[in-house]
Structure 1
C-alpha cells in the first residue's frame, strides 16, 4: 500500500509553516513574514503571561488566519484590481472606521478604466461597503472550515473566525471586540502589523504603528507591552528561517502526521489553493489522484507513487504569488504577466524546500510544467533531466487542465483532450509512457500497463535504481531485505529486459526513462 499509516516525517506545524510561505506571496510580503509575525506574537504572549499550553493554538491561528484570503481573490480582483497589491497596501492603513472606508474607496477599480472606477466607487458609497464586509466574513468562515478539516480544536476554529474583528468593535463581525476577542487573535494582530512596519522602517516604525493603533485595532494593554519590550520581541531581519529549528522548542507542535493524515492535510490545502480561480476548483486534487494512479500503473516504487500523488496536491501552491487578474485573464498574457506565471513553479519549489520530506514532494511538484523538449518551465529541463515522477505529473496536469474550463474557453471532452496530449507526445513535449499511463488512469483508452519501462516490475525498478546508483548485488540484497540469490536474479532479469550487459548500460536505460531523479539525494 502506498497510503502509509506510519509517520510521514512531517508534522502539521511544519506543513502549515511551509504553506504560510505561499500565503506570504498572496499578501504581497516576502516569504517568512507570517513566521516572523508569529515569533513576535509568541514572544509578546510569553511576556504578558499567555499560558505555555496555549502557544500551539497561537501558532495555528497565525499560520491559518490569512489563508482564507485566497477564497475571495476573484472578488477582490473584481473590485480592486491586483489582489496581491491590494493586500500589500492594506498593511499601511488602519482599516477600521473612516480610515478603512477611505482606503477601500481609494483602491476601487484599480487598474480599470475611469468609468469602471467611478462605478465601483459609487457602489461602495451606495451600499456602505456591505458587500465588502460580507466578503471579509466569508473569508473568516472558510478559514474555520480548513481548521476543522485539519483536525484543530473548536477554540482555534472559533478564533480564526474573528481575525478581522477589532478591539474597538469596528471590524467584522462588528459584535465582537475588547476582551471578547480571542487573545491569540489579539496577539497575532500586533505581530502581523508590526512585522511589516519593522521590516520597512525599523524599530521606530514598529513602535509608531503600535501607538497609532492602540485601542483601535490593537488591545491597548498588548500595544503598551509591545512598546515596552519591542527590541526584545522583534525578530532579526534575516532570510532562511529553518522551520524545524524554529519549532523545536515549541511545546505541542511535534506530533508527526501519518502518511494518510499527510494526504488528507495536503488535499485540504490543495482545495484552498484552487480557490484562487473559480475555473480551477478541484484541479489539484484531480491531478493528484490521476498522477498517483498513473505512477502505480507504471510500476514505480511505492515511495515514488506517494511522492507523485502528493506533488499533485501542491503543484500549484506557487500560484499564490500570481494575481487573480492574471490567472483569470481571457486574452493573451503580456511578457511580464507570463513571467509571473512561470515564477509559480519556482515558488512551489521554494515554498516546499523544508523540511526534507516536504522537499522531495516539492521537487517533483516543480516539474509539473516542464516538457521533454526543454520548452517548459521553470528550469527548462529536458529528457533525462526530468524524472519519471515529474513526467507523470506533467502529463496528468496537462490532461486535467484540458478537461477543465479556463478563462476564455470551455472544457474539452476527455476524448478531445486525449487526442491533444497524444499530439504533445508526437511533438516531443510529453513522455509517451507517462501519457499512456495517465490516459489509462483517466479511462481514455491507454494501454493497460502493469509494469514499468521494458516490462520491469516494481521491484525490478527498485533494483535498477539501486545498481545505477552504484550498489553491488550484496548491498541490493541488504537494502531490500532479500537474499543475495534473489537480488542476483532480479539483476539478471533487468539486464535481459532492458538489453543491458553492464551496470553502465543499465544506468543509461534508467536515465533515458526518467527513473533516476536528478534531485534525489
Structure 2
C-alpha cells in the first residue's frame, strides 16, 4: 500500500502541473492575441493617419497652385492656368473627401471650415478669371483682392490641420513602435516562461520519478528483508542462513580464515507448549532470538532455522570464541529468570570444510548436548553421530547424571557458575587435539563436567569466601577431589572417578592427593588439570579479575613439565588456534 502513495501523488502532481501549463499557455495566448490586435489597430491608425497627412499635403499643394494661378494674367497662358486651377480644385475636393471619411471630429470640423473658405476662395477666383476673360482688368484685380484673404485663411487652416495630423502620425508611429516592442517583450517573456515551465515540469517529473524509484527500492528491500527474516523473532531465517553459510565458506576458502558454526536448540519447547500454551512457547522462542541478538559481536549473524532450532555464524572465530559466545548466551538467558534454556553444539570450519560436513559436525555436537542433559554446550570433533535409540539409554543416563551433578556444583559455588561446563568443553578440545577417539573424548568430557563434584561436601562459607583462602581452608578444599571420587565411584560414572581423583596432581609430584609424578598421572587427569587451570585463570574471582587468554596461555607455558603436561598444553594451544612457537616466544 505504501508504494501506491508516491504513484498517486505523482499522478496528482502531474495533473496539477499540466493544468498550470494549460492556464499559462492560455494566458500567454491571450497576451499574444491582445498584442496582435493592438498592433493591428496601431497599424490601421497609422495607415489612416498617413492618408490624412497625404490629404493635407495634397490640399496644401492644391491651394498653393490655385493661389498661384491668380498671378498669371497673360492671355496666351490663361487656358492652361485655368486648367491647373480646376485640377487643383479636384485635388482639393478629393482631399476634403478623405478628411471627411477618415478624419476624427476635429478633422471633420476643420474640413467644414476649409470647405467654406475654399468655396469663397474659388468663387472669388472664378469671378477673377471671368473678369480677365472679359478684359476687365480693374474688376479682375478687385476680385483677386477679395479672394486673397480667403486664400491666406485657407492656407492657414490647411497648414494647421497638416501640422496637427503630422504630430498625430508621429504619435501613431511611436505607439506602433511601442506595441511592437511590447509584443517582442511579451514573446520573449512567453518563450522564457515556456522554457521555465518545461524545466520545472522536467524537474517535477524527475523528482517524482526518483521518489517512485526510491519507494520501489524501499519496497524491494522490505520484501527482501521479509523474505530473509523470521517473522516471530525478527532475526534472519533458514533461507538467509543457507545463503550466508555458502558465502562464508567461499570467503573462508578464498582468504584462508576460520569460522565457527553454532547450532542452538530451545530445550523442552513441546513441554512448554503443552503445559502453558503456544503463546508461552512463542515467548520462549522470542526470548532466545532476543538474547542471541544481544550476544552478537560485530560481523556475527544469528538465525532461526526451524521451530525450536537456531544457528549462529561466527566469522574468524575459533571454537573457544564460539564457546564463549555460547556461555554468554546461557548467562543472558539465566539473567532473564524465565527458565528458558538452550542446548548448543559447536563446529569449527577450515578451508576444506563443506556445507554438509560443517552442519553435520555441529548437529552431532548438538545431539550430544541434548543427550547429556540439555542446557549444555558441546564441541566434540571427529565423534560419531550419537545413537539416540533405546539401546543407548545407559549413555544418555550417564550424560544426564553428569550434567545434573555439574549444575549442582555450579549452583553451590556462585562465583564459578558454568565453570564445570567450560572445563568439560576445554577437556574435549584438548582430547580431540591429542588424537583420542570419539568415545574417549566423550568420556573425558564427562569427567571434566563432574571434576569438581566433591565441592558439594565443602562448606559454603569456604566456597563463597570473597578473599583468598587460608592454609586450613585450603586443606579442606583439597579434600574435594577424593570426595568426588567416592561420589562417582558409586554411580554409572565410576569409570571416570579415578580421573577426577587425580586432576590436581602435578608433573613434578607436588600435587594432591597422591603426589603422582609424570606418566603416573592418568592422561585424562592431566587433561582436566590443564583445562581447569586455564578456565580458573581466565575467570573473574571476588578477589581478582580474570587474565586475558594470552596471559593465561603464557602462564601454562611457563609451568610446563613442573605443573602441566606439555602435550596437553600444546593440544590446548592448537585447539585455541595459537602456534606453540609463538606462545613460547612470548
Hey, which of these two has a bigger chunk of helix by percent? 2
Give the TM-score normalised by structure 1: 0.36
**TM-score, length basis structure 2:** 0.32
Larger-gyration structure (1/2): 2
